[in-house]
Amino acid sequence: MKNISKIMGACLLAVSVISIYFTGISSLLMSLAYAASMFVGIHFLKKISEFITSLCIKETTSIRKLGGKILFVSDKYKGKFTSINGTLDFYTKLFLMHFLLFLLLFKAA
Amino acid sequence: MSLKFALALIGSIILSLIVSPISIVYWIIYNTKIRILDVRSALVDRPGKLLRIFYKVVFGFGNLIAILYIIMDAIRYTNDIVAGTALAAILIAFVFGSVGLGGFIASILIFFLERNKIDKALEDFEKTMSEYSTKPEEAIQILKEIIGIQEAISETEGNQESASQSQTEN
């Protein structure tokens, strides 16, 4: 699974660099603006992530009430944001989320 | 730069600010060591099922549908398949390039500046969930029942008991 996210992340990055080569400097400048906005969003709007995390917790507890069991597996299955694997894994999630929104927005424009 | 394009640029930056914190939760869900065991259907799953379904439907299939829609619209606009596809490809490449590289730069920045906070958010999530978790012994018992080991054990125990009873009667 980790290898898949690594390959996916590398492919996404390679294709985006090729896309920038074809679309020119405007795309590169926009990528810097997006990078800044993504970072600022993650850094300052923690309330949004906390709210969604609490929704996930509520969902899990309601499943427990319905008869589900919450298990803790070993640390082998736990991911950490401390390596290139974690970064690429995070990158693929961040990318997919923004691509659709921006595509539709620029289509509308 | 046209006014519409500038508005789209500003709108996309505002949307990016709002949407990007969701990716943290999604990353936490995929990297946590918490699993939910559905006893009725014997399924082991990650938490945050609704969020994962929403993400897959909207951002997974939604991306494909949006790309097809843009290609179709560009073909209709130009009245030519080749020119329309080329126009759509330029737009897709433009967005792909800017979002792809932007996302990578943001991920690198987060890796160097925010990783401890994200790891802490994961720890907090697991700490909260640990209050509701099942004990390992109970979980093993349930898993034994699911696999069928427990039934087999109880059956053999029952057989042994009935055999010993018949021996004592004899």
Q: For residue range B16-39, list pLDDT tens digits in order.
A: 888 888 888 888 888 888 899 888
Name the pLDDT band for B169 (thresholds 50, 70, 90): low
Q: What is the pTM of this model?
A: 0.78
Above 70 in pLDDT, residue B157? no
Same structural domain, B108 and B119: no
Q: How far is CA B14 from CA A32, A40, A97, B24, B81, in A?
A: 14, 11, 14, 18, 34
Who among B18, B109, B133 is closest to A72 (CB)? B133
Name the pLDDT band for B163 (thresholds 50, 70, 90): low
pLDDT value, residue B153? 60
Name the pLDDT band for B6 (thresholds 50, 70, 90): confident
Same structural domain, B25 and B63: no
**Residues of B whose CB is below 8 A from A6:** none
Instruction: Answer yes or no: is B6 within a domain.
Output: no
**Chain B: closest CA distance from residue A58 (Å):** 9
Computed over every residue of chain B, the mean pLDDT equals 81
Same structural domain, B124 and B106: no
Same structural domain, B104 and B156: no
Task: Name the burial class of residue A86, with classes exposed (0-12), middle (13-18) and buried (19+) by CB atoms within 10 angstroms of its CB.
Answer: buried
Above 70 in pLDDT, residue B167? no
pLDDT value, residue B97? 81
Same structural domain, B90 and B78: yes
Same structural domain, B59 and B98: yes
Who among B60, B62, B107 is closest to A94 (CB)? B107
Instruction: Answer yes or no: is B97 within a domain.
Output: yes
Better pLDDT: B159 or A48: A48
Same structural domain, B53 and B107: yes
- Residue B130 identity (one-letter amino acid): S
Above 70 in pLDDT, residue B165? no
Residues of chain A with pLDDT under 50: none
Same structural domain, B99 and B140: no
A27 has a chain B CB within 8 A of its CB: yes
pLDDT value, residue B57? 83
Nearest CA in chain A to B64: A100
- Residue B92 identity (one-letter amino acid): I
**Residues of B whose CB is below 8 A from A109:** 2, 4-5, 7-8
- Residue B7 identity (one-letter amino acid): L
Same structural domain, B121 and B78: no
Tokens of A44: 């300052």
Above 60 in pLDDT, residue B94? yes
* Segments forming the whole domain that contains residue B95: 48-113
Instruction: Answer yes or no: is B61 within a domain.
Output: yes
What total number of domains does chain B contain?
A: 2
Same structural domain, B55 and B89: yes
User: Is the interface score ipTM higher than 0.95?
Assistant: no
pLDDT value, residue B17? 84
User: H-helix or E-strand containing B45?
Assistant: strand B43-45
Judge: A16–B96 Cβ closer than 8 Å, yes or no. yes
Judge: A55–B51 Cβ closer than 8 Å, yes or no. yes
Better pLDDT: B77 or A13: B77
A30-60 b/e with 16+ CB inside 10 Å = b? bbebbbbbbbebbeebeebbeebbeebbebb
pLDDT value, residue A80? 78
Rounded Cα distance between A96 and A101, Å, is 9
Contact between residue B24 and residue A42 where contact means Cβ atoms under 8 Å apart: yes
Judge: B63–A96 Cβ closer than 8 Å, yes or no. yes
Flag the least confident range among A16-25, A83-92, B141-150, B157-166.
B157-166
A14 has a chain B CB within 8 A of its CB: no
pLDDT value, residue A12? 77
